[in-house]
Amino acid sequence: MGKKIVVLHSGGLDSTVMWRLAKEDIRNEVIAVYFDIGHDYAWKEKAQLPPGAHIHDMTWFKAEGKGKAGNAMNNIFIPGRNMMFATIAACKYLPDEIWMGALMGEIHDQATDKNLEYLHRQNDILSYVLSPFGKVKVVFPFVERQWGKLQVTRWACQNGMQQEILASSSCMSGEAGNCGRCGVCLRRAGIFPQLNMEESYNVDPWTAPENRKLIHDLIVAEINQDDSHYDRFRREEIIPTLIRNHSGKSLQEILELYTDGATQAKEEVLQETPQESGPNQTEMNQDQTSTSTHNPDAPPQVTHVV
């Protein structure tokens, strides 16, 4: 017997793969659910939702990203977002399972709305409040498989999803295309070359000032083999490509580039990883997206739910 599964879909890489995984068992009833909470990059995400996705208009929320103390990912966090989405989806759809794209490498103590402690507490409250209506639980399918973002992307490539992955929208900027300045763009820039994929960015993620602290902290964690925050799942997204970009240099030498100033790091990366001048398929896809979907009132083939 199949399950009723709600996939919390963002139009990004992880939820695109999660959607495919949920539908592997053809007996499942799978519903893609998206919440537009008024963030400025929602138009890009909605353009990449699967046909029939349910869009809930919560633009009144006017979400603004916040930073976390000691975290190098800048102001990308929307407080309590996953808790809010899971609770609404549970009450609205009463599914057997709500799939959330938490990853190995992201379930540390600071991730208070997608770590294992959160999962336990969320399911406790759902189990109690919704007990008269059935059993609803939040599931971390990637964590159950011990997958980080690299493993998720590798599985997708092994299952013929390269174009879907490249078309997915993970960038956390409202500008057209991939900004290159957010931490998620950096993660894709680290993973994709390892799997023989290319993606274009408005700014080189490796030299963007916004990413320098994150790169620095990942290098330090790798040198010290410190798993307390950036564990091996997070480091393996970035370090192999970083080393390839700086061929012949030790990690300690690369660390100095990200300590001593943006100009030196930029010169090194540009010299060692020249960009091709011609447009590739990814750029063509992004051009199509930016010209046809910038109007957030006209998402493709979706069911609007107010």
For the stretch 41-75, pLDDT in tens is 999 999 999 999 999 999 998 877 554 454 444 44
- Could you tell me if 141 and 217 lie in one domain? no
**Quick one: pLDDT at residue 222?**
96
Name the more confident of 70 and 90.
90
pLDDT, average across residues 78-91: 91
Distances in Å between the Cα of 297 and the Cα atoms of 36, 143, 166, 282, 294 are 11, 35, 24, 24, 9
Q: Assess if residue 200 is contained within a domain.
A: yes
- Could you tell me if 119 and 169 lie in one domain? no
Using CB atoms within 10 A of its CB, is residue 133 exposed (0-12), middle (13-18) or buried (19+)?
exposed
237 touches 151 (CB < 8 A)? no
Determine the residue type at 16. Answer: T
pLDDT, average across residues 139-148: 98
Distances in Å between the Cα of 1 and the Cα atoms of 22, 25, 29, 210 are 14, 10, 10, 48
55 touches 305 (CB < 8 A)? yes
Q: Assess if residue 305 is contained within a domain.
A: no
Q: Assess if residue 186 is contained within a domain.
A: yes
The whole domain housing 130 covers 4-150
Confidence of residue 98 (pLDDT cuts 50, 70, 90): very high
- Could you tell me if 187 and 257 lie in one domain? yes
Task: Tell me the pLDDT tens digit for each residue of 66-83.
Answer: 544 544 444 455 788 899
Query: 3-class SS at 115?
Result: coil
| DSSP single-letter state for residue 261 | -
Instruction: Tell me which of 150, 182, 217 is where a domain ends.
Output: 150
Please tell me the total count of domains within the chain. Answer: 2
Instruction: Tell me which of 128, 150, 172 is where a domain ends.
Output: 150
- Could you tell me if 12 and 133 lie in one domain? yes
Confidence of residue 161 (pLDDT cuts 50, 70, 90): very high
Q: Is the pLDDT of residue 106 over 50?
A: yes
Confidence of residue 16 (pLDDT cuts 50, 70, 90): very high
- Could you tell me if 142 and 11 lie in one domain? yes
- Could you tell me if 176 and 227 lie in one domain? yes
- Could you tell me if 43 and 92 lie in one domain? yes
E-strand stretches of the chain: 4-8, 29-36, 53-57, 97-99, 137-139, 302-305
44 touches 289 (CB < 8 A)? yes
Q: Is the pLDDT of residue 296 over 90?
A: no
Q: Look at the chain and count its residues.
A: 306
Q: What is the C-alpha separation between 156 and 180, in angstroms, rounded? A: 22
